[in-house]
Amino acid sequence: MIVSSYKEVVKIAPKSRAEYMKQRRKATKAFYVEIESAKMEAFESKLADKEKTKKEWLTEKIDEELGK
């Protein structure tokens, strides 16, 4: 099995997939909200101009809020 993200591909043996997913769920949390389509499209366009992903942008904003 191959698990991929935008920047890396990690090969996982089928037997260790369950353990990988268990560790992943411990290390990450999802953040999901719904907003107007037009607003999101404008935001995604602005991020594309800056060559940033939504995850990178959100991480920066969270770090700002936490004072890091």
Q: Does the pLDDT of residue 15 top 90, yes or no?
A: no
Give 9's pLDDT tier (boundaries 50, 70, 90). confident
Domain ranges of the chain: 1-28, 31-68
C-alpha–C-alpha distance, residues 53 and 60, integer Å: 11
Comparing CA positions, the residue from 35, 39, 47, 64 lying closest to residue 6 is 47
pTM over 0.95: no
| pLDDT tens per residue, range 20-63 | 888 989 999 999 999 999 999 999 999 999 999 999 999 999 99
What DSSP designation does 4 have? E
In which element (H, E) is residue 67 found? none
Name the amino acid, one letter, at 34. Answer: E
Tell me the residue ranges of DSSP E strands in the chain.
2-4, 9-11
Dmax of the chain from CA atoms? 43
